[in-house]
Chains A and B, each alone.
Chain A
Amino acid sequence: MLGAVRSRGVSWRRGVFALLALLGVSLSGTASAQLNVLITKGIERPTPMAIVPFGWSGSGPAAYDISGVVSADLKSSGRFAPIAESDMVSRPTSPDKINFADWRLLKVDYIVIGTLTETAPDQFTTVFQLFDVLRGEQILGYRFMSGRADLRATAHRISDMIFEKLVGVPGVFSTQIAYVSEEKRADGGKRFRLIVSDADGENAHIVADSPQPLLSPSWSPDGRRLAYASFEGDQQAVYIQTLKSGTRERVSSRKGVNSSPAFSPDGRLLALTLSNEQGNLDIFTLDVATQVLRQLTTDAAIDTEASWSPDGRTLYFNSDRSGGPQIYRVGAEPGARAQRVTFEGVYNARPRVSPDGKKVAVVYGANNQYRIGVIDAASGALQILTSGRLDESPSFAPNGAQIIYATRDKDRGVLASVTTDGRIQQEIASVAGDVREPVWGPYPRP
């Protein structure tokens, strides 16, 4: 079953977790919420291809449907149209069995074949090859070794490699997303969950679960930790949680606002927003190891939603110092003067810098409509990408080619993604509850 939600086998821990239980916050478990990807706007002619069911040799039935996952991945990107298995005239699993003339007749541009072999107990070898049908030539071939638990990840790696070869940018099928879900409980209260899943919404697991709001998840650059804001004991605080162990640390719980955390590209600093008693919010950096706090902005306005440039030298942020929310940037060393970046429109918020630092995704508001836009960091020119009414929380995929964001489907909060050229849109609907604040994680470490 491809759709199965796998538990990481992490539930309760002793010590600090007993305290968390008292506060109603639990960490790490199995999520019931699964997401389904639906392409709502695609390119006119996605590339036709054949992903032939992989051969299997080993005891019992095939250990995993690798080709099924690869096919679903490539189809979900909106750029490829894998043909149905029933339309295949043959099912080759080795190059010598491919009759290219047949596949040309089927009008597929590419064919993917492969095998999965059990070489020892819980040891598998996956081989795949990608062929250009017109030329009859192999253009990509690779062998992977793994245990059973990593066969799904192997399938995503294959999808990533095929995508990169054919599209020219790395695929992001192996990455993860974090998001927040909100559900009504039977007793009328609410349940907020911070969830991490694969980029296709599968394999979801709960990172934190609270009766109070959770917001603004931020990935560490190595993908091993998440920072987020939580309300516990009627007070907001910022936490950093290690995903694998589930242990977490409260890194900021000063009076007032402790929110909007963002890891610096080297992972040493956490930008965050703190407030004073005039209702003035400013951006600070916190050295995660030494706890040294430095103030970057001093304006009496609301300064928040910091996002680092990839070189770690500049932070983009939202400030209403000119009267309404607009995007500014400031140097990462205290004392630098902030510069205004957006001048188009009366409402620009939640900046998120692209992986190459050249673009900034924003929430653009006009006439009670909030959409996702991308501004050119150098010129400030704005391009609107979405057409929702309350679109929010844009986050770039690590390949810079796609943005995930939160939108509404009727009155329900759902996740959606759009390519940065605006051509392909996908909706990712959760089975239960509202989902929002998606944040795309980094490439997995090899």
Chain B
Amino acid sequence: MKSWLKVLVPVAAFVALASCGGHKGNTLPDSSSQAVEGGGSSTGVTTGQGAGGGITGSPLEQERARLLQTLVIYFDYDQAEIKPEFTAVVQAHGQQLATNASMMVRLEGHTDERGSREYNIGLGERRAQSVRRALMLAGAQPGQITTVSYGEERPAATGSDEESWRLNRRVEIVYRR
């Protein structure tokens, strides 16, 4: 994925946006990593704690590339709200779409196996639309995004346990050529 190189110019604007998703308002750019705390293992971003935790840093481009590498957004049970640890990721994708008008994404909504299949089709759609709205808030245009809900029909993990369920409650961001 090299497309992020094209968007170095508006990176300052992006950082301002991304940090809005963090918990402290006007801190310095590197604290935007706070926004993905908890999603750490999947994004590869390490986080620095606040007071007394020392300072860590990384180049902004690298930060952004890491955010864009995250293509799966996870949700809580029966919820479609984007969790705080994913707001920076979704904003990064929205920004990328905003600055690359020819880019297109398909948002695939999924649920865990619990509950009825058709209700889960609805819940998956609700999740996909939730990500769609967040992408548009970050500047993506409606014509760049399509959605589809697979409900519980295409699980990422096949077990019937909490961990499988967690991995299955998701929206996958699929870039289309």
List chain A positions with a Cβ less than 8 A from chain B. Answer: 213, 215-216, 229, 231, 234-236, 255-257, 259-260, 273, 275, 277-279, 281, 302, 304-305, 318, 320, 324-325, 347, 349-350, 363, 365, 368, 370, 389-390, 392-393, 408, 411, 437
Contact = CB atoms under 8 A, between A and B. Distances in A.
B67 interface: no
A216 B118 CA distance: 8
B117 A231 contact: no
B126 A363 contact: no
Given A236-B148, A236-B149, A257-B149, A349 B116 contact: yes
B123 to A, nearest CB: 7
28 contacts: A213-B153, A231-B150, A234-B148, A236-B121, A236-B149, A255-B146, A256-B125, A257-B122, A257-B125, A259-B118, A273-B121, A275-B129, A275-B149, A277-B129, A279-B125, A279-B127, A279-B130, A318-B116, A318-B119, A324-B78, A325-B119, A350-B116, A363-B115, A368-B114, A370-B114, A370-B115, A392-B116, A392-B117
A349 B120 CA distance: 11
A213 B150 contact: yes
What 10 A-B pairs come out closest when comparing CB atoms?
A279-B129, A302-B122, A213-B153, A279-B126, A349-B116, A350-B116, A281-B122, A260-B118, A305-B118, A304-B118
Interface in B34-70: none
B121 A259 contact: yes
Contact of B114 (A216, A305, A390): A390
A318 B115 CA distance: 12
- Size category of the binding interface on chain B: 20 to 34
A256 B151 CA distance: 12
B132 interface: yes
A393 B152 CA distance: 14
Interface of B: 78, 80, 106, 113-119, 121-123, 125-130, 132, 146-151, 153-154, 158, 160
Contacts of A231: 148, 150
Contacts of A256: 125, 147-149
Contacts of A325: 115-116, 119
Nearest to A281: B122
A305 B122 CA distance: 10
B160 A411 contact: yes
B129 A278 contact: yes
Contacts of A279: 80, 122, 125-130
A181 to B, nearest CB: 13
B11 to A, nearest CB: 30
Contacts of B116: 305, 318, 325, 349-350, 363, 392-393
A437 B123 CA distance: 19
Given A279-B127, A279-B130, 16 more contacts: A213-B153, A215-B117, A229-B121, A255-B147, A257-B122, A260-B118, A273-B122, A275-B125, A279-B125, A281-B121, A302-B123, A305-B118, A349-B115, A350-B118, A365-B114, A392-B116
Nearest to B122: A302
A390 B113 contact: yes
B30 to A, nearest CB: 34
Nearest to B78: A324
B122 A365 contact: no
A389 B115 CA distance: 11
Given A257-B122, A279-B126, A279-B129, A393 B148 contact: no
A195 B18 CA distance: 50
A275 B150 contact: no
A390 B155 CA distance: 16
Contacts of A390: 113-114, 160
A371 B148 CA distance: 28
